[in-house]
Amino acid sequence: MNCVAMNTTAVNEQYSLVNSTILGSSKIRAFLSVEVVSDGAVFRAHYKMASPSISTVSISSIASYGPQAGLRSEHKSSALGFNAAKFLKCFSGLKAAASVNLESDASFLGRESNAALLASSIPKVQQSQRASNQFQPQASFKVAVLGAAGGIGQPLALLIKMSPLVSALHLYDIANVKGVAADLSHCNTPSQVLDFTGPLELANCLKGVDVVVIPAGVPRKPGMTRDDLFNINANIVKSLVEAVADNAPNAFIHIISNPVNSTVPIAAEVLKQKGVYDPKKLFGVTTLDVVRANTFVAQQKNLKLVDVDVPVIGGHAGITILPLLSKTRPSVTFTDEEVEQLTVRIQNAGTEVVEAKAGAGSATLSMAYAAARFVESSLRALDGDGEVYECSFVQSELTELPFFASRVELGKKGVEAVISADLHRLTEYEAKALEALKPELKASIEKGVAFVEKRAAVAAN
Ligand SMILES: NC(=O)c1ccc[n+]([C@@H]2O[C@H](COP(=O)([O-])OP(=O)(O)OC[C@H]3O[C@@H](n4cnc5c(N)ncnc54)[C@H](O)[C@@H]3O)[C@@H](O)[C@H]2O)c1
């Protein structure tokens, strides 16, 4: 997701801007690498910028390298102007409630990997000249993936490995995770990769982690509904969340294992039984529904993908998935037929993939992408970034249902706010669909709660 933007017109006469790269960005910070050429020599600076709203970046000290590096080892002072806000528009991955919302996220190829790539292509003498201008590693968060050897787990682990915010990546599975970790550990990004196999190593995997992502379980096969998965995945999620409660009670928990409408309530009940339930830190990952909605709407309406943002509310199965097309940003109109066709496609997009894979599993790559985006948003929130918004299935008071997916604001302590604005002024179609989804979602939530209560009753006797 590394982007090179060319903008020679904005540069003063003395210098030509040849390459500017966003190494990582957020709503409040941007990390830039800028190259300029003067008299045949190339100058490069790494820059940390406080706010994307600043329209001009001034580079006051840049190290030289290139053909004349030996001759020009002094640092130069120069002012270089370009429109930073314009650059950042195509990089912010955050979902801001009140501003344009963007998908693309530079930080999956973070500034550390970028720095490493730069280092490997620049002679050593020149590297030392750059040293004072290089970024200090900012990676500081530990992330655990439980079910890391699976179809989702592997690409998800790769994407998390690319995050500049991650210092340790703990990969757990009941089998085959050693090879995944060995393979990933060769990527020259900052995080250290450790593998953990089987229940005896689970506690060590979880100690001290900030975010636990759970894609462990069985995927849907053709002809299977999400409910068919219930008994297998309910047991897996229950036992994994018990271990999280014992070893990482303060971590953000991201549940991917289906049926999310039930596995999240299961996780909540387990955490309650353990006395460590914090509803602000338990998330059902529904990001894939948003990712799909954005993609399909952009295709249908011929819009630039990075500009499109469709909130998706309700739950994460069939008709409980409710894309609010009337709240699409940028504002766009749909015919009744388009609303019906798009809504149904978004609700059944998982089945599209299951059938196309013909027995070889369900959505894994798009799911890994979506889950990595949610992890990245969580890490940014933990890191203190403001205005981090994502849709997620969380404990909620927006409706009479105890859990509900909606846009939430993420902060250091988890859910800072559940955003109600999207549910105002629904179209007639959306209002009806919302009422129609409630009985099914309620039943799925109750099924999850009942599962844990029954297990507790059995254990007590
Ligand atoms: N939330 C979503 O949008 C979404 C989308 C797609 C799939 N899913 C769900 O994600 C889950 C995983 O899908 P997949 O395609 O990666 O399946 P997969 O079978 O390829 O991988 C699952 C992994 O979980 C591991 N596992 C099983 N039991 C475990 C346990 N007790 N502890 C740790 N690991 C365990 C397996 O060894 C395997 O490596 C499924 O439940 C699937 O339905 C969710």
Condensed to tens digits (0 to 9), the pLDDT of residues 234-280 reads 999 999 999 999 999 999 999 999 999 999 999 999 999 999 999 99
**pLDDT exceeds 70 at position 445:** yes
Record the tokens describing residue 371, joined without a space.
């889950």
To the question of pTM greater than 0.85 for the whole model, the response is: no
Return the pLDDT at 90: 29
Return the pLDDT at 437: 98
Ligand 1 atom having least distance to the Cα of 287: 3
Asked if the structure places residue 8 within a domain, the reply is: no
Return the pLDDT at 131: 41
Q: Are residues 259 and 110 in the same domain?
A: no
Where does a domain end: 111, 137, 163?
137
Asked if the structure places residue 41 within a domain, the reply is: yes
**pLDDT exceeds 70 at position 455:** yes
**pLDDT exceeds 90 at position 103:** no
Nearest residue to 309 (alpha-carbon basis) of 215, 391, 432: 391
CA of 228 to the centre of ligand 1 (A): 14
Contact by Cβ (8 Å): 55, 88: no
Question: Whose alpha carbon is nearest atom 6 of ligand 1?
Answer: 363
* Banded pLDDT at 223 (limits 50, 70, 90): confident
Task: Find the CATH number of the domain harbouring 362.
Answer: 3.90.110.10
The CA angle 272-273-277, to the nearest 5 degrees, is 20
Exposure string over 410-425, b if 16+ CB within 10 A, otherwise e: bbeebbbebbeebbee
Asked if the structure places residue 95 within a domain, the reply is: yes
Q: Are residues 331 and 248 in the same domain?
A: yes
Q: Span 160-180, mean pLDDT?
A: 98
Instruction: Name the packing angle between helices 287-301 and 349-357 (round to 10°).
Output: 90
Q: Are residues 320 and 388 in the same domain?
A: yes
Return the pLDDT at 226: 61
**pLDDT exceeds 90 at position 324:** yes
Q: Are residues 129 and 148 in the same domain?
A: no
**pLDDT exceeds 50 at position 132:** no
Q: Are residues 332 and 215 in the same domain?
A: yes
Q: Are residues 179 and 114 in the same domain?
A: no
Measured from CB, residues less than 6 Å from any atom of ligand 1 are: 146-147, 149-153, 173-175, 215-220, 229, 233, 236, 240, 256-258, 260, 285, 288, 316, 361-364, 367
Determine the structural domain holding residue 312 and report its residue range. Answer: 139-461
**pLDDT exceeds 60 at position 134:** no
Greatest extent of the chain over all pairs of C-alpha atoms, in Å: 83
Q: Are residues 311 and 456 in the same domain?
A: yes
Q: Are residues 292 and 352 in the same domain?
A: yes
Number of structural domains the chain divides into:
2
**pLDDT exceeds 80 at position 297:** yes
**pLDDT exceeds 80 at position 8:** no
Contact by Cβ (8 Å): 84, 92: no
What does 63-97 look like in DSSP terms, one character per residue? EEESTTTTT--SPB-------HHHHHHTT-----S
Q: Are residues 181 and 320 in the same domain?
A: yes
Give the contacts of 431 (CB within 8 A, at least 6 positions apart). none
Backbone angles phi, psi at 404, to 5 degrees: -160, 140
CA atoms within 13 A on the CB side of 424: 3
User: Cβ–Cβ contacts within 10 Å for residue 57, how many?
Assistant: 19
Percent pLDDT > 70 in the chain is: 69
Active site residues: 316
CA of 203 to the centre of ligand 1 (A): 20
Q: Are residues 63 and 122 in the same domain?
A: yes
List the beta bridge partners of residue 171.
145, 195
Where does a domain end: 137, 157, 184?
137
Mean pLDDT of the chain: 79
CA of 259 to the centre of ligand 1 (A): 11
Q: Are residues 208 and 133 in the same domain?
A: no
Q: What is the pLDDT of residues 201-221, one digit of tens each?
A: 999 999 999 999 999 998 877
Q: Are residues 71 and 150 in the same domain?
A: no
Where does a domain end: 104, 137, 170?
137
